[in-house]
Structure 1
């Protein structure tokens, strides 16, 4: 083989080695950064082609895994291209309807392979996306916004799906917009105007049934807590931290709310290193919800 051909082989080998080393390995990562973000009606407030403002923000966060809600107008192809733009070569969309503004699918993107995907839409308002990344089991969901009774049914479905799974004691992470109140925030809501806010909204929109016997209900998340799951934010923060509204106009309530959560199974509790609600110049202005970030030890 002459020197020219040897040189070509060397270049090709170098390219192959470089490309292969670019693939992220979950086993080599000591920590995992996970973000959950409701992005408001298909990232509507980012009017750039391909959602460049969201891409820029996601690059800056450099999360390993991002759970997304309200991914309206995305298709599988659009999501994969979008995710690849910030370094996530794996992406799964629950469902797609490019022309339906009320479809509200959830999605998950990752640096690492997403496997064992299960897309559940029956008996759920928006649905739930089940997916494994390594030995972590993810459930991404967005609960019913209109009726507490339906939210209770939806959460019970998710709880049972884990209870009767092949790995009920495993590493589970439930992330999403739960459209419900944590009992751990009750003291904050008791001294707020939230109850009156909801009563006024229900007068204007009779379809809404978010109160139970005229009171705030904590049953949705109390059932999740009773099943052993842990509100990750409260592992690190005793104080109330809202996830809505942002600085963008938001008609849900004039009272600060916490609707966005990451819950973990007991086996992950001691692995949680940090949890926060990300409030910055971008998240102030590009959705009606703030994202929640969790960092865990990976082993």
Structure 2
């Protein structure tokens, strides 16, 4: 059975509509010689043959000045993320093809960098092909361009998204063996992937490793743990993570607050649940319908009808 085209898979996960113009964060520094490529890609009129011709011209030094790798990377990145259009239905595959042109170019000015490889790895991740991303990653290591932490993070995230939990976790541990320090993105992705896979012990171990390494945990890491424990019905552990997060000076998201409030209300600890509800408001967050419903059910179960009525009136004024 033939594998689906990269663009067909990527389109399903793209948050951009096909009519949305491609944004280029690199537009500020790309030379004028690259403008036609970006403009036609943004307008949806860049055909594969045109892209090959323009890119090849840039590699050969078309224009007044040589085109640096940084600008070529910007073109590859924009193409890899472009939604399918009538002119170019498979941007990610075309980005891989243009990379091969770049790779064959003898000019040191246009030599692929670690970031170039990370673009390809991300392209394969979005196409749900972490196996190909891992192959590119292996090649990156062999080039001697440096052990790029962004590339590691991208491949790890891709494995988690494809349910390859063991491969993702093994690669995370390999980083340490190679003397590479994960960044906050790597830690967050690993913790979230382990929590969603119900590997809570490993997730907490990674959190502790994060703290020991001097990388400050943020809301994302703790919210993943809170929600992971809540999904397993491990309310004591969820509440422990909630308190640790607050003690660390971080603000739990509304979803995490709701999880803990629900658990407390089920156990008759209404005042503690109300304190969390109040903290949502005090910290500038907006309680949602689930926040109100959890507390209303708690009041009802405890027979606190007056409190229930006051909260109901408040809800009618706050929730549309």
Identify the structure with the greater strand proportion.
1
Larger radius of gyration: 2
**TM > 0.5:** no
Question: Which of structures 1 and 2 has the larger relative contact order (alpha carbons within 8 angstroms, sep 6+)?
Answer: 1
Which TM-score applies when normalising by structure 1? 0.29
Which TM-score applies when normalising by structure 2? 0.27
Identify the structure with the greater helix proportion.
2
